[in-house]
Amino acid sequence: MNINITLPDKSVRKYSKELTGYDLASDIGRSIAKEAVCMEINGQLTDLNTLIKDDSKCRIFTSNDQISLEVLRHSSAHILAQAVLNLFPNTKYGVGPSIEDGFYYDFLFENNIKEEDLLKIEKEMHKIAQEKQNFTKEYLPEDEALMIFSNQQFKEELINTADKDEGVNAGEVSIYKNGKFLDLCRGPHIPNTGYLRHFKLTKLAGAYWRGIETNPQLQRIYGTSWFSKEELNKYLTRQKEAEKRDHRKLGRELKLFTSADELGPGQYLWQPNGSILRNQIEEFSKSAHKNNGYEFVNTPHIGRSILWETSGHLDHYKEGMYPALTTEDTNDKYYLKPMNCPFHILVYKNDIRSYRDLPIRYFELGSVYRMEKTGVLHGLLRARGFTQDDAHIFTTIDNLNDEILNLLTFSIKLLNCFGFTDIEADLSTRPKDYIGEDKDWEKATNSLEEALNQQKISYKIAQGEGAFYGPKIDLHIKDAIGRRWQLTTIQIDFAQPNNFSLDYVNSDNKKVRPVMIHRALLGSIERFTGILIEHYAGHLPGWLAPTQINILTIGNVDEHLQKIVKKLNKYRFSIDNRNIRLGEKIHDSKKMKIPITLIIGENDRNNNTVAINYASGEETKDINLEEGIKSINKVLKKPTFKL
């Protein structure tokens, strides 16, 4: 017998008998054997103890490989379930995958557990880890597996519905065993439980079985695990950093916005500082639209029920709308608007339109109200009342390509101006339930895809994720700490032009239906502001900061101060001339995250100089006044939007 094993570096090793991945790793070198976690045979990921029986291409994965981390976390989930069953024997266990930065497992406990139980479970996991139980894989016939799991309803369901991801395949079921613990699983796993050392159970949450709202709700335990203590600590610090960026906390500290119980959940009040920021964003957006072919419209906040019947909102989204308002003098019902489109459509319908008029682009910073479920509300990022940078474009289908490409460029450049440069897209295609003609869908989807290709923006296709009325592009940005946020949405709509019988007169003097594009680029101004705050951790770019310059005086510098103020009065500045120590003034200035702290004392008065502290931490002293102003102008420069 002769087995040739080809390694990733193309070298070939010859063996005279079957061997495991661990044997192979040990033969390659002691350190790789020590670090080995799992392996790949002919492209198939598998356990380290799998026997290599034939000539094959093999690759050993060590704790340095990303894939090993996923394996570790998946095994962590198994050990979590094992610990839970040891402590709470009557628990029913569901599924437990690895996820980004960690893992979870879903359980149905006899009595719901509490957060403090996590410590106990963690302890039990450590105990299991110390026992270094081997993970072994077995294949069982389906009926035998059903017997083993006969009092585990979720496992039975998994076997019966043949979910391949959980190790069920064509009458045969793969299970993993470590110690006395058994679980349905495709694997692979770490060689033994001793590989689990640096982990932490992080939170307890509710989760519906298989993610379906009508299914029973299980308790989900989240955890994180790593190969080294350093990585675990790094992760935990990263979590703390993310907490520091929380826009709700920063919003309070920087006096940007607030809420009040009297308003009801999901509604926010913008304080003066926040309003400056918000107005800057809105003005920037408005001027970009004004200079690029949009006409501005303004529309009310409520409309009669007939409007929402025609638009289909009452049929499809009634539960997402605030309840109707009624008046005493008539039987009319009015609804707060959850979208602006029906109003823009009414503006369009107010006149006969010619193909020469198209495309018509109506823009509005439109405030909408949506009855979001209480549990999903999340500061400005998910509010009930918010304002969209909304526009509706009415176009001929022939112009669709140009419009979409133009929009994509517009949005990317706009996002760039706010410092978001890492942008990706989702192209959502026709869902199962849809309206309209197949050929229109095809044309619209092609327009979207073509625009994405021309923009050279990386995108993935979200099959069947489009709205029922048309396909869409969503743009996601990546923030400073790597989180992705969806901002822009560009949606093609075949339905509303039909619902409202929209038309225009074409060159043959015939009435033809236009296509509509719904688009919000920043999305919701509230949400966008929240994301900006988190992205910059409150250190807003100079042009957006509520107070751009804080001038700190030391001693009697009135004349010098007046001279400087004259030169800076186009900026939003404040003057701190309190008779307190400079250190305290600087402390206050930093606390409010003001981009420029200008310090002037008597020395500066005498020498016509200034000292500048920048938000970046950079500090300069004894700078000539003119030079200082130049530097300030640079930091506070507003970006220019150009298509």
Active-site residue set: 341, 370, 388, 390, 392, 472, 518
Minimum gap (Å) between residue 510 Cβ and RNA = 30
Site for RNA in 527-566 (CB under 7 A): 554-555
Rounded-to-integer distance, Cα 332 and Cα 305, Å? 7
Would you tell me how many other CB atoms lie within 10 Å of the CB of residue 555? 13
Using DSSP's 3-state secondary structure scheme, residue 63 falls into: coil
Measured CA distances, 477 to 168, 456, 483 (Å): 38, 15, 8
Rounded-to-integer distance, Cα 379 and Cα 530, Å? 8
Which region among 171-179, 370-378, 388-396, 567-575 touches RNA (by CB under 7 A)?
A: 370-378
Is 320 an interacting residue with respect to RNA (CB under 7 A)? yes
Site for RNA in 485-524 (CB under 7 A): 491, 518
Minimum gap (Å) between residue 408 Cβ and RNA = 18
- List the one residue from 7, 297, 575, 582 that touches RNA (CB under 7 A): 582
Is 165 an interacting residue with respect to RNA (CB under 7 A)? no
Q: Are strands 217-226 and 325-326 parallel, antiparallel or unpaired?
A: unpaired
Using DSSP's 3-state secondary structure scheme, residue 609 falls into: strand
Is 207 an interacting residue with respect to RNA (CB under 7 A)? yes
Q: Which is nearer to RNA, 373 or 638 (CB)?
A: 373
- List the one residue from 599, 632, 635, 636 that touches RNA (CB under 7 A): 599
Which region among 31-39, 78-86, 498-506, 596-604 touches RNA (by CB under 7 A)?
A: 596-604
Site for RNA in 79-108 (CB under 7 A): none
Minimum gap (Å) between residue 340 Cβ and RNA = 11
Q: Give the DSSP H or E segment for 226.
A: strand 217-226
Paired tokens of 149 = 């799991």
Q: Which is nearer to RNA, 45 or 377 (CB)?
A: 377
Minimum gap (Å) between residue 619 Cβ and RNA = 5
Q: At what angle do helices 117-130 and 66-87 cross, to 10 degrees?
A: 110
Paired tokens of 63 = 């704790």
Site for RNA in 600-619 (CB under 7 A): 600-605, 611, 613, 617, 619
Is 201 an interacting residue with respect to RNA (CB under 7 A)? no
Minimum gap (Å) between residue 482 Cβ and RNA = 15
Rounded-to-integer distance, Cα 58 and Cα 215, Å? 43
Which region among 212-220, 273-281, 437-445, 566-574 touches RNA (by CB under 7 A)?
A: 212-220
Q: Which is nearer to RNA, 46 or 340 (CB)?
A: 340
Measured CA distances, 81 to 131, 158, 303, 533 (Å): 16, 16, 53, 39
Q: Which is nearer to RNA, 97 or 639 (CB)?
A: 97
Site for RNA in 249-308 (CB under 7 A): 249, 252, 259, 261, 264-266
- List the one residue from 370, 392, 430, 519 that touches RNA (CB under 7 A): 370
8 A C-beta contact, residue 485 and residue 438: no
Is 217 an interacting residue with respect to RNA (CB under 7 A)? yes
Site for RNA in 112-151 (CB under 7 A): 112, 114-115
Any bridge partners for residue 609, and if so which? 624
Q: Which is nearer to RNA, 512 or 565 (CB)?
A: 565
- List the one residue from 21, 188, 342, 379 that touches RNA (CB under 7 A): 379
**Strand intervals (E) in 54-210:** 56-62, 92-93, 98-99, 102-108, 136-141, 168-169, 172-178, 181-184, 198-208
Measured CA distances, 539 to 11, 70, 272, 552, 596 (Å): 53, 35, 17, 19, 11
Measured CA distances, 251 to 247, 344, 537 (Å): 5, 33, 11
Paired tokens of 485 = 């946020």
Is 325 an interacting residue with respect to RNA (CB under 7 A)? no
Which region among 39-47, 89-97, 202-210, 276-284 touches RNA (by CB under 7 A)?
A: 202-210
**Strand intervals (E) in 447-606:** 459-462, 472-478, 484-493, 504-505, 511-512, 515-524, 549-553, 573-576, 596-600
Q: How many residues bind RNA (CB under 7 A)?
A: 71
Q: Which is nearer to RNA, 170 or 260 (CB)?
A: 260
Minimum gap (Å) between residue 477 Cβ and RNA = 16
Which region among 154-162, 180-188, 208-216, 439-447 touches RNA (by CB under 7 A)?
A: 208-216
8 A C-beta contact, residue 549 and residue 573: yes
Q: Are strands 19-20 and 51-52 parallel, antiparallel or unpaired?
A: antiparallel
Which region among 79-87, 364-372, 404-412, 630-638 touches RNA (by CB under 7 A)?
A: 364-372
Q: Which is nearer to RNA, 347 or 377 (CB)?
A: 377
Q: Which is nearer to RNA, 347 or 586 (CB)?
A: 586
Residue with token string 């926040």: 274
Q: Which is nearer to RNA, 278 or 560 (CB)?
A: 560
Q: What share of the chain is helix, strand, coil (3-state, %, to 5)?
A: 35, 30, 35
Q: Which is nearer to RNA, 114 or 570 (CB)?
A: 114
Which region among 205-213, 275-283, 345-353, 531-539 touches RNA (by CB under 7 A)?
A: 205-213
- List the one residue from 132, 248, 286, 333 that touches RNA (CB under 7 A): 248
Is 587 an interacting residue with respect to RNA (CB under 7 A)? yes
Q: What is the DSSP letter of 311?
A: H
Residue with token string 């102003």: 629
- List the one residue from 205, 306, 325, 352 that touches RNA (CB under 7 A): 205
Site for RNA in 453-492 (CB under 7 A): 467, 491
Q: Which is nearer to RNA, 41 or 321 (CB)?
A: 321
Can you give the three-state secondary structure of 380-449, one letter per residue? ECECCEEEEEEEEEEECHHHHHHHHHHHHHHHHHHHHHCCCCCEEEEEECCCCCCCCCHHHHHHHHHHHH
Nearest C-alpha neighbor of 191 from the set 66, 25, 311, 53: 25
Which region among 3-11, 28-36, 286-294, 377-385 touches RNA (by CB under 7 A)?
A: 377-385
8 A C-beta contact, residue 155 and residue 168: no
Site for RNA in 8-37 (CB under 7 A): none
Minimum gap (Å) between residue 124 Cβ and RNA = 19
